[in-house]
Amino acid sequence: MAPPDRHPQRETGSERRARYDTDDVNSLRERVADAKWRRRLAARRSTNHAYRVAVGVVGGLIVSVGLVTIPLPGPGWLVVIAGLFVLASEFTWAERLLEFTKAQVSRWTDWVTRQPVWVRGLLALATAACVYGALVLALHLTGVPSWVPGWVPLWR
């Protein structure tokens, strides 16, 4: 008769390392769940629920800020992906969305690197034009600060 499976919270460090050596893939969520501090939080239902709510709120706020800043100059998509990382530490749906996003970014990067230099140059110019357009639009809506010199090519 085989010994009963041990509960993951009761594993010793060596048992956990041995399991990691045999497992091919451990998701971010599983790795966080296996951490000692996370197991302590999960031991009580109220702290576990509060922690999951806090992760959802913080991750949702980060994603929201990222989505709002996408059309502006700056790291909008990077902030969205960072928010997905926060959410993926606790939620399976966010982990799947993060994996999908990583796959799409990888596909785009592979496609761009296969293109000739002139296509990559056009993509860079189009990106710069979009950033410039967003900047001009933002400054037009909010007003150009007085410290911006007159020679800067902005739509006034």
Tens digits of residue pLDDT in 60-90:
999 999 988 887 777 888 999 999 999 999 9
**Rounded to whole angstroms, how far apart are CA atoms 117 and 133?**
24
**Rounded to whole angstroms, how far apart are CA atoms 28 and 92?**
10
3-state DSSP assignment of residue 39: helix
Q: For residue 97, which of 78, 80, 74 has the smallest C-alpha distance?
A: 80
Average pLDDT across the chain, whole number? 81
Rg (CA), the chain: 23
**Rounded to whole angstroms, how far apart are CA atoms 12 and 17?**
9
Tokens (6 digits) for 154: 């902005």
Q: 101, 109 in Cβ contact below 8 A?
A: no
Domain ranges, ordered by start, for the chain: 8-105, 115-156
Is 13 a residue whose pLDDT tops 90? no
**Rounded to whole angstroms, how far apart are CA atoms 60 and 57?**
5
Length of the chain as a residue count: 156
pTM listed for this prediction: 0.64
Is 15 a residue whose pLDDT tops 70? no
Is 7 a residue whose pLDDT tops 50? no
